[in-house]
Structure 1
């Protein structure tokens, strides 16, 4: 969504339960779902544990599904996502994507804009889980540092990229929230987060 600024800080939140759940994941889980890496060239160097997902086909009448990451992360992720929505966004919308995304040391997410219509209408929220001083998140040509314990919304309509020049992986929990006024006339099919 175009939020008129590159990055908006949403404040400090207790991420400890979600962080513990993500850091406790078994290594093979990170390699289970490779859809994003195969479909989107910019994400080839990432790994994801996907909780909720849509490919956006048929927008706005899309199908939102629970993925394997739901059983692993929902207990800790849902309360935090719901609190963020309550604090910053209109109620009654739908979470259409939610995942932990990892970028390995030396990894790059090339400059891009999120073009699908769902990204025009959804708020893209980032919760940093693991980072290091050599991670560079660039939006509209300017570098930003995301601090652990704080939550951010990014303007995904501006060109953005990530470089991890550090020695450890960078992990962010990311989710997309579509406010109620942008949900299709018959609602979003299979509203995974509300069941």
Structure 2
């Protein structure tokens, strides 16, 4: 495990999400459906949460090798400023983003309790940036329930049990991504 990862929740600060959130609100349902059907992260714990995946790892055992998915080219200009601003507190000169996605949970939705168990999840920081939420979205990380406000970046402990419930009347949409420092020696170095 990366010793720089949080073991609970680490607030990273406010992020300017205005342009990205507006673009996300304009995504047609047919696009959400098509992207979700083709997503590489099909896990039972995610239940009916829909995803648009922009970048993804090539192998669940290695976070160091990833690829751009088709949507990345069209969204890159909107995503990169948010990614850079969210990880600024780390001070990484060469941050790498192996996984980048939108996660949309409908009212009444749930992500069941789970641990990100694949080896590729053990090193990168896992970051959430809420783009749309409501006060009744509850996220459980680091042994406690949390509500993450829109436009705040937060690192979460993905290696401990975690879950999410949307008990409100509106969608919860998060930009979720991983980051690691290319200059930080890895566990095998």
After TM superposition, is the score higher than 0.5?
A: yes
Unaligned runs of 5+ in 2: none
2:67 pairs with 1:65: yes
Shift of the 158–58 alpha-carbon distance from structure 1 to 2, 3 Å rule, reads: closer
Post-superposition offset of 1:36: 5.0
- Structure 2 residue 44 is the aligned partner of structure 1 residue 41: yes
| Aligned length, in residue pairs | 184
User: Which residue matches 1:80?
Assistant: 82
Of stretches 85-94 and 98-107 in structure 1, the one that deviates more from structure 2 is 85-94
Structure 1 counterpart SS, 2:79: helix
Q: Distance in 1 between matches of 2:102 and 2:142?
A: 24
Q: How far is 1:83 from its partner?
A: 2.7
The match for 1:103 is: 105
1:53 to 56, 61, 76: 56
TM-score (norm 1): 0.84
Residue segments in structure 1 that go unaligned for 5+ positions in a row: 186-195
* Aligned-partner Cα distance in 2 for 1:4–1:54: 21
Q: Distance in 2 between matches of 1:38 and 1:60?
A: 14
Superposition pairs for residues 1-195 of structure 1, below 5 Å? 3-33=5-35, 34=37, 36=39, 39-57=42-60, 59=62, 62=65, 64-180=66-182, 181=184
Q: Structure 1 residues 82-91 or 151-160, which shifts more?
A: 82-91
**Greater share of strand residues, 1 or 2?**
2
- Residues 127 and 149 (structure 1 numbering): CA distance in 2 closer, same or farther, change over 3 Å? same
TM-aligned CA deviation for residue 37 of structure 1: 7.8
- Structure 2 CA distance for aligned equivalents of residues 53 and 60 of structure 1: 9
